[in-house]
Structure 1
């Protein structure tokens, strides 16, 4: 009887120790194919969601409220004989300390997402082997999200996750799919990962920490101090933009943050916004409608 109890305790402990890290929602849109009734699209949706949510990606022990919320939108433009031509948009957020709200930390659209998938095939990630472009791409974004999330909690906290993403980039190159090579362009998975680990963008990652941990997470105790830190983080990004204009990291940051920044800078204690508004308009002119709407 004691042996049975001990075995049960070990089993329960393993469930606690290896909790999954994500609350992921996956949507597969196949309207452009004209074949939306095919069951393979719904099967693919569930398989990718299980790959993200049911795997253990780290050794972190997380409570449910600490899990990362994320959305994966796969837009299939062509489908024929298990070959998919698609785009994927990935969004993620994390809780804001001392509040019931969350903050977006990643919003990225990848237009280089062609893959092969046979209905009901298992999707398993093994860091040492290449199985498919589908699995590699999803795993890459999982570790990129983990890295960016960790960067918001501690300086360069995401290094080990970005390094894991490097391994995926290197392994996936043998599949010859677009997005993994230097030649894939400035909006590729290769470029996203390379910039995150480049010394040229160290201040970008430092700005993530300043914005989130020293800014947003502190606003529940001192709104003005938190707001000033967010202004400081934006100016840090401007320093990065001066040396590396129109980078993939700066673009993805404002794709995630433009609405939030407008709301934060428009509310709460008044701070001097002249310089920061000028910086926002230089870095992200596509969001000038938001910047022009800011009223301190």
Structure 2
């Protein structure tokens, strides 16, 4: 009897560590004028359970390894079971030797509409379209997983990005925007296509060098860390030369602009003359932040 109880406790313990995310999902329906409708509260509750309780990978995550993220769905309109919305997705990862978490993914996906009936089952199938709501969420979750893995190991997110691309491929059969090449330069199709393209291999090296060789040594030597972070950002010039103002570059600086400003506005001095030129060249939309950097 004691052995049976021990096995049960072990199984429960391992099951508790099978999920990968600590994600807060918010459904904001203020723009519909009906934000108090029960359906939006039900949807929010179901989405939190779906995102946090689905086993997205075969890897076991301990409590301290869960990826912190947030998903905000801004519903702009509803007609029966059809909802029009945008979705803001953000994620962060801890920095070694500190209590600081660094933003990794920050994207506003505007091509988002979905069908939903209250209390309908939300089921993720890795190889089959179930609903646009599930596909869009699964896509961004795999982008979160892939980018997080890339910051710890060079090209460590390959498996997750390929699954995100698989979701794109099987979701194209449905009449929803964001899944096809013709849906514009800021679509889900473009995002994952670019990150898997050899053309943008430098981008993934930037992710690794910025985080693993830069931020993660900040507690040991903040001057060396700042130098490595500067060198990583300078490498974004290679990405810019391949495709000026690419979607990947924009997502990177949307996540990192505030952090870069803070890193280079205090602490030990390092040579950032080249860095400043690159920042203004590859991310001019954040020039107001770059002007605050002290050298």
For normalisation by structure 1, the TM-score amounts to 0.96
Q: How many residues align?
A: 295
- How far has the Cα of 1:35 moved from its partner? 1.0
Residue 73 of structure 2 corresponds to 74
Residue 8 of structure 1 corresponds to 8
1:161-200 aligned at under 5 Å gives the runs 161-200=160-199
Residue 86 of structure 2 aligns to a residue whose secondary structure is strand
Question: Per-residue CA shift, 1:198-221, capped at 9, x if unaligned?
Answer: 001110000000000000001110
Matches of 2:265 and 2:174, distance apart in 1: 48
Matches of 1:284 and 1:13, distance apart in 2: 46
2:45 aligned with 1:39: no
Residue 22 of structure 2 aligns to a residue whose secondary structure is strand
Residue 175 of structure 1 aligns to a residue whose secondary structure is coil
Question: Per-residue CA shift, 1:213-267, capped at 9, x if unaligned?
Answer: 0000011101111111100111111111122111111001110100100010112
Residue 157 of structure 1 corresponds to 156
Residue 85 of structure 1 aligns to a residue whose secondary structure is strand
Residue 174 of structure 1 aligns to a residue whose secondary structure is coil
2:50 aligned with 1:51: yes
Unaligned runs of at least 5 residues, structure 1: none
Residue 276 of structure 1 corresponds to 275
CA RMSD of aligned residues (A): 1.3
2:223 aligned with 1:224: yes
Question: Per-residue CA shift, 1:52-93, capped at 9, x if unaligned?
Answer: 101111122222222111111111111110110100110000
Residue 145 of structure 1 corresponds to 144
2:249 aligned with 1:250: yes
- How far has the Cα of 1:124 moved from its partner? 1.2
Matches of 1:78 and 1:84, distance apart in 2: 6
After the TM superposition, which parts of structure 1 deviate over 6 Å for at least 4 consecutive aligned residues?
none
Matches of 1:120 and 1:12, distance apart in 2: 27
Residue 130 of structure 2 corresponds to 131
Matches of 1:76 and 1:13, distance apart in 2: 37
Unaligned runs of at least 5 residues, structure 2: none
- How far has the Cα of 1:7 moved from its partner? 4.0
Matches of 1:105 and 1:10, distance apart in 2: 33
For normalisation by structure 2, the TM-score amounts to 0.97
Given that residues 132 and 175 in structure 1 are in contact (C-alpha distance below 8 angstroms), is that contact kept between their aligned partners in structure 2?
no
Matches of 1:277 and 1:29, distance apart in 2: 38
Matches of 2:213 and 2:138, distance apart in 1: 29
- How far has the Cα of 1:3 moved from its partner? 5.5
Matches of 2:102 and 2:79, distance apart in 1: 38
Residue 241 of structure 1 corresponds to 240
- How far has the Cα of 1:15 moved from its partner? 1.8
Matches of 1:176 and 1:69, distance apart in 2: 32
Question: Per-residue CA shift, 1:137-194, capped at 9, x if unaligned?
Answer: 0000000100000000011000000011111111111122100011111100000000
Matches of 1:222 and 1:58, distance apart in 2: 35
Matches of 1:214 and 1:248, distance apart in 2: 24
